[in-house]
A = this chain, B = another copy of it.
Amino acid sequence: MTGLATKKSWSPDILIDDGAELTIAANQKGKRYTEKIIGACEETTTGVTRLRAMEKEGRLRFPVISVNDALTKFLFDSRYGTGQSALEGIMRATNLLLAGRSVVVAGFGWVGRGVALRAKGMGSRVIVTEVDPVRALEALMEGFDVMPTGNTSIITTAHMSLMKDKAILCNVGHYDVEVSVKDLEKIAVKRRKVRPEVTEYRLKSGRRLYLLSEGRLVNLAAADGHPAEVMDMSFAGQALSAEYLLRQGSKLESKLIRVPEELDLQIARWRLEAFGKRIDSLTKGQQKYARSWQL
């Protein structure tokens, strides 16, 4: 994804990116390299964040479609994709029964909602920690318990020293930063691998904490990541966005733009069809109302 063809003999028309490395590199190289580029599509939150900063500074030289912000991506990928794969990762890593366990989910965003929903579905009791009172109230109304942690950044020494013996720690958020492995190493008196994806840390108090997959994303490290259907949807977003750039790119400003709603709806329609499900369609007049899905 890094490295950009420099010879006139070969150069890309459209960039399909995941992390924005390529898109940023192209923009930095200057006009000579970007004049033939119609546009780019970016898959990730991180990438979009970086490109947005670039856009603000007026340094974006071609349009970029933020595939990450498609409804058919974030409503499904984070919630149902991570929800399932995180649970599978925990089961594979530990071979423990989820029923009857208490699961603490830090944050009730889309990932947190998915993990909480599926953990409940496997018979766990779920406690949600949040800083946003609206989200916390939603969690409560969905039947989860809500508690404070006293510290909102990441799982640190402060939390670890209060955990019960044999508590299991894992991360399904960002790359190995949500559980502070450094803190765990610091307070542990002994460390040993007890299963391929499980490391036991023994504390001075004699209590043992188990870290899954060295704090890396447990759904990627201990399972196979998102189920295929979820990736299908994200990739469909990339493909349709690329086609859209090809057709409409010349009319687009050099800005970050959302996936056109019609493409988003098209992906959802195909996904429903693949499930063998049909839905009603609206008359033209009714379509305006349907678009206001958010409320």
Contact = CB atoms under 8 A, between A and B. Distances in A.
Given A80-B141, A268-B136, A131 B281 contact: yes
A53 interface: no
A129 B96 CA distance: 25
Contacts of A74: 295
A187 interface: no
A135 B143 CA distance: 22
Interface stretch (A14-22, A23-31, A244-252, A269-277): A269-277
Contact-residue size bin, chain A (C-beta under 8 Å from the other chain): 35 or more
Interface string A198-223: 00000000000000000000000001
This protein's copies in its complex: 4
Given A120-B121, A138-B75, A97 B277 contact: no
18 contacts: A75-B134, A81-B97, A84-B91, A84-B122, A88-B92, A91-B227, A95-B228, A96-B228, A96-B229, A97-B227, A100-B141, A100-B143, A121-B122, A129-B279, A133-B269, A133-B272, A137-B268, A148-B280
Interface of A: 69, 71-72, 74-76, 79-81, 83-84, 87-88, 91-92, 95-101, 109-110, 117-118, 120-125, 129-138, 140-153, 164, 223-224, 227-230, 264-265, 268-269, 271-272, 275-283, 286, 290, 293, 295
The 5 A-B pairs with the shortest beta carbon distances in the complex, nearest first, are A121-B121, A133-B268, A97-B227, A100-B140, A99-B141
